[in-house]
Amino acid sequence: MTDYQEMDPFWVESRAKFLATKSTSADPSACGTCRSNVAAGEPVEHDECAQRATLLHAPDHPHYEILAGFSLEENEKLPARFHVPVFDDCGVPNAWLCAVCQEEGQVVGWPCATAVKYGTKVFTPLHEAETAQEKQAAELAAYRALDLGDPDGRVSASCDNPEHPTWLRAPDDNRGCPWCRTAELENALTATGRSLSSFIFDSDDPGADALGAQWLYHQAMPQADDPFAQPRAFRSSVFSEASKAAEALDTLGPELAGRPSAYCEGYSDGVRAAAERLEMLADQAAEGSEVAA
């Protein structure tokens, strides 16, 4: 049957036309002339510039260090997806070798025994493969579509911050980036809270309005840093240091010599009570639960 097809004039003519037709797909390494031809819908000028088949290793293909030191028998047991061909252009003669079937001083031609055994499990057909390049190209196309889109008459806009996404706005809407504006408002609200905190801390009677504003601030900014923490910590430290100073007085110095024991005991109890009171005020100041006098 093969001899008949080769001798039949129809197939001879069809084969000649096929071989004479140049590819309209250029390889990434093609020359400028051939790339220009393909861009214009024309075939490439040079056969070597036509797009060739692509040979990709598996994403987790083992490095040479993983293969070195193991026997040929061990490397032959590696999963079938690793047994792909590599071309050796340094050896004499040049040859296609298995990428993993090797050991010190010995290599195996491709297809190796493992590739023959597992056949189609070595490669994945192109229509089933999802390479990183294809995924990246799809994501880039989606971003470009968003940047150039104008749904419902709106236009896309962006700011100088690369971390902020593109947003859509009306053509007559000149407002800036909403994410930048949100950050500005949060900073302003935080500064306002700190100013309010300083006022309440410095005032003997800040009034119900200031305290109410403080409460509203906490409701509006539940996740923000507490601007009242630092003043409370300072007030708490004042009471704590006073408590330590009071405890230091609980010693019978020379000035108490000769005093009745009842007097000394009463003095000691009073000092300890003052220290405990001051420590309680320190805890309340730290928690923000001080009771107004």
| Whole-number Cα distances in Å, 40 to 36, 52, 64 | 6, 20, 43
Q: The tokens of 99 are what?
A: 């990428």
In a domain, 275, yes or no: yes
User: What is the pLDDT, as a whole number, of residue 129?
Assistant: 63
Looking at the fold, whether 33 and 71 belong to one and the same domain comes out as no
Sequential DSSP letters for 128-194: G---HHHHHHHHHHHHHHHHH--GGG-EEE--S-TTSPPEEE-TT-----HHHHHHHHHHHHHHHHH
Max Cα–Cα distance, the chain, nearest Å: 138
Look at the block and give the residue holding tokens 């880039």. 140
pLDDT reported for residue 112: 95
Distances from the Cα of 158 to the Cαs of 144, 161, 165, 246, 293, in angstroms?
Answer: 13, 8, 7, 62, 55
Question: Residues 22, 88: one domain?
Answer: no
The pLDDT score that the predictor gives to residue 141 is: 67
C-alpha distances (whole Å) from 141 to each of 58, 147, 151, 268 are 25, 10, 17, 81
HSE (side-chain half, CA atoms, 13 Å) at 152? 3
Same domain (yes/no): 209, 142:
no
Say what the pLDDT of residue 229 is.
61
* 200 & 280 share domain: yes
pLDDT of residue 293: 46
List the beta bridge partners of residue 98: 85
pLDDT of residue 285: 73
Instruction: Indicate the number of domains in the chain.
Output: 4
Q: Are residues 244 and 270 in the same domain?
A: yes
Q: Looking at the domain assignment, is residue 216 inside a domain? A: yes
pLDDT digits (tens, 9 = 90+) for 159-200: 888 788 887 788 788 888 888 888 888 788 777 777 777 777
Task: Provide block-wise average pLDDT over 10 residues at a time, the chain (293 residues).
Answer: 63 82 86 89 89 84 86 92 92 90 91 92 74 69 57 74 81 84 81 73 74 69 56 68 77 70 80 84 71 50
Kindly state whether residues 113 and 141 are assigned to the same domain: no
The parent domain of residue 94 ranges over 64-123
Helices 229-248 and 261-287, packing angle to 10 deg: 170
Q: What is the pLDDT of residue 98?
A: 94
The pLDDT, as a whole number, for residue 148 is 47
